[in-house]
């Protein structure tokens, strides 16, 4: 069979959340074939299918806007909750 998954992650290295990075990986058979990185601001393809999809998705301004907004909506929101929970325990 085939294996498809999508992993998202947020990376930050300090309590200052201005350096937070959102990464959205699309994986097929354990290989990342396309990735969105908020630092780059676009989709990047790593295989023939990934390059095709990246070109298509990068031309859709609505999809790009939605991915770029994940830093604020998903990453910073959850990081603030986690940092508050950690600060309350110390």
| pLDDT at res. 49 | 93
pLDDT, greater one: 25 or 17: 25
pLDDT digit string (tens) for 44-79?
Answer: 999 999 999 999 999 999 999 999 999 999 999 888
- Per-residue pLDDT band for 14 (boundaries 50, 70, 90) equals confident
Which residues, in sequence order, are CB contacts of 8 under 8 Å at separation 6+? Answer: 22, 23, 24, 25, 70, 74
Annotated domain spans of the chain? 4-88
| pLDDT at res. 90 | 57
Which residues, in sequence order, are CB contacts of 6 under 8 Å at separation 6+? Answer: 24, 25, 26, 27
Angle between helices 61-70 and 48-58 (to 10 degrees): 100
> Would you put residue 41 in left (φ > 0), alpha (ψ -120 to 50) or beta?
left
Q: What is the pTM of this model?
A: 0.85
């Amino acid at each position: 069979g085939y294996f498809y998954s999508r992993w998202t992650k947020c990376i930050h290295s300090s309590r200052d959340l201005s350096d937070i990075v959102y990464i959205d990986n699309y994986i097929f058979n354990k290989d990342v074939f396309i990735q969105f990185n908020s630092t780059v601001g676009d989709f990047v393809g790593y295989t023939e299918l990934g390059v095709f999809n990246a070109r298509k998705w990068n031309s859709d301004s609505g999809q790009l806007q939605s991915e770029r907004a994940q830093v604020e909506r998903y990453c910073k929101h959850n990081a603030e909750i986690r940092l508050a929970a950690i600060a309350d325990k110390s």
